[in-house]
Structure 1
Amino acid sequence: MKKSFLIIGLALAMFSCNNGSTTASSGTKTAYVDTAKLIEENQEAKDIESKYKTKSQEMGRELEGEAKQFQNEAATFQRDAQVKGMAWAQQKSAELQKREQQLGMKQQAMLQTLQQESGKEMDSLVKRIKDYIKDYGKKNSYEYIYGTGDAASILYAKDGLDITEKISKELNDKYKGSDKKEEPKAEEKK
Protein backbone atom coordinates (compact mmCIF):
# COMPACT_ATOMS: atom_id res chain seq x y z
CA MET A 1 0.00 0.00 0.00
CA LYS A 2 2.79 2.41 0.91
CA LYS A 3 4.49 1.57 -2.37
CA SER A 4 1.31 2.39 -4.31
CA PHE A 5 1.06 5.83 -2.71
CA LEU A 6 4.76 6.42 -3.30
CA ILE A 7 4.47 5.50 -7.00
CA ILE A 8 1.32 7.61 -7.43
CA GLY A 9 3.02 10.51 -5.62
CA LEU A 10 6.10 10.26 -7.85
CA ALA A 11 3.93 10.07 -10.95
CA LEU A 12 2.01 13.20 -9.89
CA ALA A 13 5.24 15.01 -9.09
CA MET A 14 6.73 14.12 -12.49
CA PHE A 15 3.49 15.13 -14.23
CA SER A 16 3.42 18.50 -12.48
CA CYS A 17 7.10 19.12 -13.29
CA ASN A 18 6.50 18.35 -16.97
CA ASN A 19 3.48 20.63 -17.11
CA GLY A 20 5.42 23.50 -15.55
CA SER A 21 8.35 23.28 -17.95
CA THR A 22 6.11 23.00 -21.01
CA THR A 23 4.23 26.12 -20.00
CA ALA A 24 7.43 28.05 -19.31
CA SER A 25 9.11 26.97 -22.52
CA SER A 26 6.09 27.61 -24.72
CA GLY A 27 6.04 31.26 -23.59
CA THR A 28 9.70 31.81 -24.46
CA LYS A 29 10.38 33.46 -27.81
CA THR A 30 13.54 32.01 -29.30
CA ALA A 31 15.22 31.86 -32.70
CA TYR A 32 18.56 31.05 -34.22
CA VAL A 33 20.92 32.49 -36.81
CA ASP A 34 23.28 30.51 -39.04
CA THR A 35 26.35 32.68 -38.42
CA ALA A 36 28.43 31.10 -41.19
CA LYS A 37 25.67 31.74 -43.73
CA LEU A 38 25.17 35.26 -42.37
CA ILE A 39 28.83 36.16 -42.97
CA GLU A 40 28.84 34.37 -46.32
CA GLU A 41 25.85 36.39 -47.55
CA ASN A 42 26.92 39.68 -45.98
CA GLN A 43 27.74 42.28 -48.64
CA GLU A 44 30.13 44.18 -46.41
CA ALA A 45 32.09 40.96 -45.75
CA LYS A 46 32.22 40.33 -49.51
CA ASP A 47 33.48 43.88 -50.07
CA ILE A 48 36.20 43.47 -47.42
CA GLU A 49 37.29 40.18 -48.98
CA SER A 50 37.37 41.74 -52.45
CA LYS A 51 39.30 44.76 -51.19
CA TYR A 52 42.04 42.62 -49.67
CA LYS A 53 42.15 40.26 -52.63
CA THR A 54 42.82 43.27 -54.88
CA LYS A 55 45.39 44.65 -52.44
CA SER A 56 47.10 41.25 -52.33
CA GLN A 57 47.25 41.08 -56.12
CA GLU A 58 48.75 44.57 -56.32
CA MET A 59 51.38 43.76 -53.70
CA GLY A 60 52.01 40.43 -55.41
CA ARG A 61 52.73 42.13 -58.74
CA GLU A 62 55.26 44.40 -57.09
CA LEU A 63 56.95 41.47 -55.41
CA GLU A 64 56.77 39.41 -58.60
CA GLY A 65 58.78 42.08 -60.45
CA GLU A 66 61.48 41.99 -57.80
CA ALA A 67 61.52 38.18 -57.91
CA LYS A 68 61.96 38.15 -61.70
CA GLN A 69 64.82 40.64 -61.41
CA PHE A 70 66.42 38.39 -58.78
CA GLN A 71 66.02 35.34 -61.04
CA ASN A 72 67.68 37.20 -63.91
CA GLU A 73 70.58 38.17 -61.66
CA ALA A 74 70.91 34.56 -60.48
CA ALA A 75 71.03 33.32 -64.09
CA THR A 76 73.63 35.98 -64.98
CA PHE A 77 75.61 34.97 -61.89
CA GLN A 78 75.87 31.37 -63.07
CA ARG A 79 77.27 32.44 -66.46
CA ASP A 80 79.66 35.02 -65.00
CA ALA A 81 80.91 32.75 -62.20
CA GLN A 82 82.92 30.64 -64.64
CA VAL A 83 84.49 33.70 -66.27
CA LYS A 84 85.20 35.91 -63.21
CA GLY A 85 86.58 33.28 -60.87
CA MET A 86 85.94 31.66 -57.52
CA ALA A 87 86.46 34.73 -55.26
CA TRP A 88 84.00 36.82 -57.23
CA ALA A 89 81.50 33.92 -57.29
CA GLN A 90 81.63 33.52 -53.49
CA GLN A 91 81.11 37.23 -52.89
CA LYS A 92 78.27 37.48 -55.40
CA SER A 93 76.66 34.28 -54.05
CA ALA A 94 76.55 35.77 -50.56
CA GLU A 95 74.91 38.92 -51.94
CA LEU A 96 72.32 36.87 -53.84
CA GLN A 97 71.50 34.78 -50.75
CA LYS A 98 71.04 37.94 -48.70
CA ARG A 99 68.74 39.37 -51.35
CA GLU A 100 66.75 36.15 -51.51
CA GLN A 101 66.24 36.30 -47.74
CA GLN A 102 65.16 39.93 -47.99
CA LEU A 103 62.59 39.04 -50.65
CA GLY A 104 61.23 36.25 -48.46
CA MET A 105 60.99 38.56 -45.46
CA LYS A 106 59.31 41.24 -47.56
CA GLN A 107 56.75 38.71 -48.78
CA GLN A 108 56.05 37.55 -45.23
CA ALA A 109 55.71 41.13 -44.02
CA MET A 110 53.24 41.93 -46.81
CA LEU A 111 51.14 38.86 -46.02
CA GLN A 112 51.19 39.60 -42.32
CA THR A 113 50.15 43.22 -42.92
CA LEU A 114 47.26 42.13 -45.14
CA GLN A 115 46.13 39.53 -42.61
CA GLN A 116 46.23 42.02 -39.75
CA GLU A 117 44.37 44.72 -41.67
CA SER A 118 41.69 42.37 -42.99
CA GLY A 119 41.43 40.69 -39.58
CA LYS A 120 40.75 44.03 -37.91
CA GLU A 121 38.05 44.90 -40.43
CA MET A 122 36.41 41.47 -40.18
CA ASP A 123 36.54 41.57 -36.36
CA SER A 124 34.89 44.98 -36.46
CA LEU A 125 32.22 43.64 -38.84
CA VAL A 126 31.54 40.61 -36.62
CA LYS A 127 31.18 42.89 -33.60
CA ARG A 128 28.71 45.11 -35.48
CA ILE A 129 26.73 42.03 -36.58
CA LYS A 130 26.60 40.73 -32.99
CA ASP A 131 25.44 44.14 -31.78
CA TYR A 132 22.82 44.24 -34.53
CA ILE A 133 21.51 40.78 -33.60
CA LYS A 134 21.38 41.83 -29.94
CA ASP A 135 19.40 44.97 -30.85
CA TYR A 136 17.19 42.92 -33.18
CA GLY A 137 16.45 40.51 -30.35
CA LYS A 138 15.54 43.31 -27.96
CA LYS A 139 13.40 45.12 -30.54
CA ASN A 140 11.50 41.94 -31.46
CA SER A 141 11.13 40.65 -27.86
CA TYR A 142 13.28 37.53 -28.21
CA GLU A 143 14.48 35.97 -25.01
CA TYR A 144 17.19 34.00 -26.81
CA ILE A 145 18.77 34.07 -30.25
CA TYR A 146 21.14 31.16 -30.73
CA GLY A 147 23.94 30.84 -33.22
CA THR A 148 24.69 27.94 -35.54
CA GLY A 149 27.30 27.54 -38.23
CA ASP A 150 31.01 26.75 -37.93
CA ALA A 151 30.94 26.89 -34.13
CA ALA A 152 27.54 25.25 -33.77
CA SER A 153 25.82 25.52 -30.43
CA ILE A 154 22.54 24.12 -31.76
CA LEU A 155 22.30 20.63 -33.15
CA TYR A 156 18.63 20.81 -34.11
CA ALA A 157 15.96 23.48 -34.37
CA LYS A 158 12.70 23.87 -36.25
CA ASP A 159 13.08 25.66 -39.57
CA GLY A 160 10.54 28.27 -38.51
CA LEU A 161 12.92 29.49 -35.80
CA ASP A 162 15.67 30.36 -38.32
CA ILE A 163 15.85 34.15 -38.70
CA THR A 164 19.12 34.13 -40.69
CA GLU A 165 17.48 35.40 -43.90
CA LYS A 166 15.73 38.28 -42.10
CA ILE A 167 18.91 39.37 -40.34
CA SER A 168 21.00 38.97 -43.50
CA LYS A 169 18.57 41.06 -45.58
CA GLU A 170 18.36 43.80 -42.96
CA LEU A 171 22.15 43.96 -42.52
CA ASN A 172 22.74 44.14 -46.28
CA ASP A 173 20.02 46.77 -46.73
CA LYS A 174 21.51 48.81 -43.90
CA TYR A 175 25.01 48.49 -45.41
CA LYS A 176 23.85 49.46 -48.91
CA GLY A 177 21.84 52.39 -47.59
CA SER A 178 24.54 53.89 -45.42
CA ASP A 179 27.70 55.75 -46.30
CA LYS A 180 30.35 53.02 -45.87
CA LYS A 181 32.86 55.40 -44.34
CA GLU A 182 30.55 56.88 -41.71
CA GLU A 183 29.71 54.31 -39.06
CA PRO A 184 27.50 55.31 -36.13
CA LYS A 185 29.46 55.59 -32.93
CA ALA A 186 28.69 53.26 -30.05
CA GLU A 187 27.48 56.19 -27.92
CA GLU A 188 24.94 57.22 -30.60
CA LYS A 189 23.44 53.71 -30.77
CA LYS A 190 22.57 53.56 -27.05
Structure 2
Amino acid sequence: MKKSLLIIALAISIISCNKETQTTEAAAFKTAYIDTSKLMEEYTEAKDVAAKYKSKSDEAARKLEVQEANFKSDANYFQKNAQANGQAWAQQKGAELQQRQQQLQYAAQTMAQQLQEGHAVEMDTLVKSVKKFIKDYGKEKGYDYVYGTGDAASVLYAKDSYDITDEVVKLLNDKYTTSAKKEETTETKKEEKK
Protein backbone atom coordinates (compact mmCIF):
# COMPACT_ATOMS: atom_id res chain seq x y z
CA MET A 1 0.00 0.00 0.00
CA LYS A 2 2.82 2.39 0.90
CA LYS A 3 4.53 1.56 -2.38
CA SER A 4 1.30 2.36 -4.27
CA LEU A 5 0.96 5.72 -2.54
CA LEU A 6 4.61 6.46 -3.18
CA ILE A 7 4.23 5.62 -6.89
CA ILE A 8 1.07 7.77 -7.16
CA ALA A 9 2.77 10.68 -5.38
CA LEU A 10 5.79 10.33 -7.64
CA ALA A 11 3.56 10.23 -10.75
CA ILE A 12 1.66 13.35 -9.64
CA SER A 13 4.88 15.24 -8.99
CA ILE A 14 6.24 14.25 -12.41
CA ILE A 15 3.01 15.37 -14.10
CA SER A 16 2.96 18.67 -12.24
CA CYS A 17 6.64 19.30 -13.10
CA ASN A 18 5.87 18.51 -16.73
CA LYS A 19 2.96 20.98 -16.71
CA GLU A 20 5.18 23.66 -15.16
CA THR A 21 7.75 23.07 -17.89
CA GLN A 22 5.06 23.33 -20.58
CA THR A 23 3.65 26.49 -19.00
CA THR A 24 7.13 28.00 -18.78
CA GLU A 25 7.82 27.12 -22.41
CA ALA A 26 4.51 28.63 -23.54
CA ALA A 27 5.13 31.77 -21.52
CA ALA A 28 8.56 32.12 -23.11
CA PHE A 29 7.05 32.86 -26.52
CA LYS A 30 7.16 36.51 -27.48
CA THR A 31 4.04 37.43 -29.46
CA ALA A 32 2.40 40.53 -30.86
CA TYR A 33 -0.33 41.42 -33.32
CA ILE A 34 -0.99 44.02 -35.97
CA ASP A 35 -4.39 45.40 -36.96
CA THR A 36 -3.98 44.95 -40.71
CA SER A 37 -6.99 47.13 -41.54
CA LYS A 38 -5.61 50.02 -39.54
CA LEU A 39 -2.15 49.43 -41.00
CA MET A 40 -3.41 49.76 -44.57
CA GLU A 41 -5.57 52.80 -43.68
CA GLU A 42 -2.67 54.67 -42.09
CA TYR A 43 0.22 53.54 -44.31
CA THR A 44 1.18 56.48 -46.51
CA GLU A 45 2.21 54.37 -49.51
CA ALA A 46 -1.16 52.58 -49.48
CA LYS A 47 -2.89 55.97 -49.35
CA ASP A 48 -0.74 57.19 -52.25
CA VAL A 49 -1.59 54.14 -54.38
CA ALA A 50 -5.30 54.61 -53.68
CA ALA A 51 -5.08 58.34 -54.51
CA LYS A 52 -3.15 57.61 -57.71
CA TYR A 53 -5.84 55.25 -58.99
CA LYS A 54 -8.65 57.56 -57.85
CA SER A 55 -7.00 60.31 -59.90
CA LYS A 56 -6.59 58.03 -62.93
CA SER A 57 -10.21 56.94 -62.61
CA ASP A 58 -11.44 60.54 -62.42
CA GLU A 59 -9.36 61.50 -65.46
CA ALA A 60 -10.70 58.54 -67.45
CA ALA A 61 -14.27 59.40 -66.42
CA ARG A 62 -13.81 63.00 -67.63
CA LYS A 63 -12.58 61.78 -71.04
CA LEU A 64 -15.53 59.42 -71.35
CA GLU A 65 -17.97 62.16 -70.35
CA VAL A 66 -16.72 64.35 -73.22
CA GLN A 67 -17.14 61.49 -75.69
CA GLU A 68 -20.59 60.66 -74.30
CA ALA A 69 -21.66 64.30 -74.56
CA ASN A 70 -20.55 64.38 -78.22
CA PHE A 71 -22.43 61.15 -78.84
CA LYS A 72 -25.63 62.51 -77.24
CA SER A 73 -25.35 65.67 -79.30
CA ASP A 74 -25.00 63.62 -82.50
CA ALA A 75 -27.91 61.39 -81.43
CA ASN A 76 -30.12 64.46 -80.86
CA TYR A 77 -29.12 65.83 -84.26
CA PHE A 78 -29.99 62.46 -85.81
CA GLN A 79 -33.43 62.38 -84.18
CA LYS A 80 -34.26 65.92 -85.35
CA ASN A 81 -33.12 65.36 -88.93
CA ALA A 82 -33.98 61.70 -89.58
CA GLN A 83 -37.27 62.38 -91.39
CA ALA A 84 -36.00 65.39 -93.31
CA ASN A 85 -32.94 63.61 -94.76
CA GLY A 86 -34.69 60.42 -95.85
CA GLN A 87 -34.72 56.78 -94.90
CA ALA A 88 -31.34 55.86 -96.45
CA TRP A 89 -29.58 58.63 -94.53
CA ALA A 90 -31.41 57.66 -91.31
CA GLN A 91 -30.38 54.00 -91.63
CA GLN A 92 -26.76 54.87 -92.35
CA LYS A 93 -26.47 57.42 -89.50
CA GLY A 94 -28.42 55.14 -87.14
CA ALA A 95 -25.95 52.31 -87.79
CA GLU A 96 -23.02 54.68 -87.27
CA LEU A 97 -24.49 55.92 -83.97
CA GLN A 98 -25.10 52.38 -82.79
CA GLN A 99 -21.50 51.44 -83.61
CA ARG A 100 -20.19 54.51 -81.74
CA GLN A 101 -22.33 53.65 -78.74
CA GLN A 102 -20.87 50.13 -78.65
CA GLN A 103 -17.36 51.54 -78.97
CA LEU A 104 -18.00 53.92 -76.05
CA GLN A 105 -19.26 51.06 -73.90
CA TYR A 106 -16.28 48.90 -74.83
CA ALA A 107 -13.86 51.77 -74.11
CA ALA A 108 -15.45 52.35 -70.69
CA GLN A 109 -15.24 48.65 -69.80
CA THR A 110 -11.65 48.36 -71.01
CA MET A 111 -10.57 51.46 -69.11
CA ALA A 112 -12.23 50.25 -65.88
CA GLN A 113 -10.64 46.82 -66.24
CA GLN A 114 -7.18 48.28 -66.86
CA LEU A 115 -7.49 50.52 -63.80
CA GLN A 116 -8.64 47.61 -61.62
CA GLU A 117 -5.82 45.37 -62.83
CA GLY A 118 -3.19 48.07 -62.33
CA HIS A 119 -4.48 48.84 -58.84
CA ALA A 120 -4.58 45.14 -57.94
CA VAL A 121 -1.00 44.60 -59.13
CA GLU A 122 0.31 47.58 -57.16
CA MET A 123 -1.61 46.59 -54.03
CA ASP A 124 -0.34 42.99 -54.27
CA THR A 125 3.21 44.30 -54.53
CA LEU A 126 2.60 46.62 -51.59
CA VAL A 127 1.11 43.82 -49.45
CA LYS A 128 4.07 41.55 -50.21
CA SER A 129 6.43 44.35 -49.25
CA VAL A 130 4.56 44.95 -45.97
CA LYS A 131 4.57 41.23 -45.14
CA LYS A 132 8.33 41.07 -45.74
CA PHE A 133 8.82 44.17 -43.58
CA ILE A 134 6.77 42.64 -40.75
CA LYS A 135 8.66 39.36 -41.03
CA ASP A 136 12.02 41.18 -40.83
CA TYR A 137 10.71 43.37 -38.00
CA GLY A 138 9.53 40.31 -36.07
CA LYS A 139 12.91 38.62 -36.45
CA GLU A 140 14.76 41.78 -35.43
CA LYS A 141 12.62 42.28 -32.32
CA GLY A 142 12.76 38.59 -31.35
CA TYR A 143 9.08 37.76 -31.78
CA ASP A 144 8.08 34.14 -32.10
CA TYR A 145 4.72 35.08 -33.59
CA VAL A 146 3.23 38.25 -35.07
CA TYR A 147 -0.48 37.80 -35.70
CA GLY A 148 -2.80 39.82 -37.89
CA THR A 149 -6.23 41.17 -37.01
CA GLY A 150 -8.61 43.23 -39.09
CA ASP A 151 -10.59 42.17 -42.16
CA ALA A 152 -9.02 38.70 -42.35
CA ALA A 153 -8.66 38.18 -38.61
CA SER A 154 -6.55 35.31 -37.40
CA VAL A 155 -6.65 36.53 -33.79
CA LEU A 156 -9.95 36.67 -32.00
CA TYR A 157 -8.63 38.26 -28.83
CA ALA A 158 -5.36 39.74 -27.62
CA LYS A 159 -4.36 42.19 -24.93
CA ASP A 160 -3.85 45.71 -26.20
CA SER A 161 -0.32 45.64 -24.82
CA TYR A 162 0.57 43.15 -27.61
CA ASP A 163 -0.60 45.56 -30.35
CA ILE A 164 2.40 46.81 -32.35
CA THR A 165 0.35 48.34 -35.19
CA ASP A 166 1.23 51.97 -34.49
CA GLU A 167 4.94 51.20 -34.22
CA VAL A 168 4.95 49.26 -37.51
CA VAL A 169 2.92 51.95 -39.31
CA LYS A 170 5.39 54.61 -38.14
CA LEU A 171 8.38 52.56 -39.30
CA LEU A 172 6.78 51.78 -42.68
CA ASN A 173 5.86 55.44 -43.23
CA ASP A 174 9.39 56.54 -42.27
CA LYS A 175 10.87 53.98 -44.69
CA TYR A 176 8.48 55.08 -47.48
CA THR A 177 9.20 58.78 -46.89
CA THR A 178 12.94 58.14 -46.91
CA SER A 179 12.79 56.16 -50.16
CA ALA A 180 10.59 58.84 -51.77
CA LYS A 181 13.13 61.51 -50.82
CA LYS A 182 15.94 59.40 -52.29
CA GLU A 183 14.01 59.07 -55.56
CA GLU A 184 13.40 62.83 -55.70
CA THR A 185 17.11 63.50 -55.09
CA THR A 186 18.10 61.02 -57.82
CA GLU A 187 15.64 62.57 -60.30
CA THR A 188 16.86 66.07 -59.46
CA LYS A 189 20.46 65.05 -60.07
CA LYS A 190 19.52 63.49 -63.43
CA GLU A 191 17.74 66.69 -64.49
CA GLU A 192 20.71 68.85 -63.43
CA LYS A 193 23.05 66.76 -65.59
CA LYS A 194 20.91 67.45 -68.66
Please report the TM-score for the alignment, with normalisation by the length of structure 2: 0.84
Give the equivalent residue in structure 1 for 2:36: 35
Deviation at residue 28 of structure 1 after TM alignment: 0.3
Deviations 1:96-144 (A, max 9, x none): 1111010011011111111111211111111111010000001000011
Letter in 2 for 1:55: K
Alignment of 1:163-174 (within 5 A): 163-174=164-175
Alignment of 1:1-190 (within 5 A): 15-16=16-17, 18-179=19-180
Distance 1:181 1:122 in 2: 22
Deviations 1:116-174 (A, max 9, x none): 11211111111111010000001000011011111111100111111001000110111
Structure with the higher fraction of residues in helix conformation:
2
Where 2:180 maps in the other structure, the secondary structure is: coil
Where 1:142 maps in the other structure, the secondary structure is: coil
Distance 2:40 2:153 in 1: 14
Distance 1:149 1:57 in 2: 29
Would you say how many aligned residue pairs link Structure 1 and Structure 2?
180
Deviation at residue 14 of structure 1 after TM alignment: 6.2
Deviation at residue 58 of structure 1 after TM alignment: 1.3
Report the more deviating stretch, 164-173 or 48-57.
48-57
Q: Structure 2: where are the runs of 5+ without partners?
A: 184-194
Distance 1:129 1:180 in 2: 19
In 2 relative to 1, CA 57–70 (structure 1 residues): closer, same or farther, beyond 3 Å? same
Distance 2:170 2:10 in 1: 53
Instruction: Decide which structure has the larger Cα Rg and report it.
Output: 2
Please report the TM-score for the alignment, with normalisation by the length of structure 1: 0.85
RMSD of aligned residue pairs (Cα, Å): 2.3
Deviation at residue 180 of structure 1 after TM alignment: 6.4
Q: Structure 1: where are the runs of 5+ without partners?
A: 183-190
In 2 relative to 1, CA 65–127 (structure 1 residues): closer, same or farther, beyond 3 Å? same
Where 1:157 maps in the other structure, the secondary structure is: coil
Aligned-pair identity in percent equals 53
Deviation at residue 49 of structure 1 after TM alignment: 0.9
Where 2:34 maps in the other structure, the secondary structure is: strand
Distance 2:107 2:182 in 1: 30
Where 2:148 maps in the other structure, the secondary structure is: strand
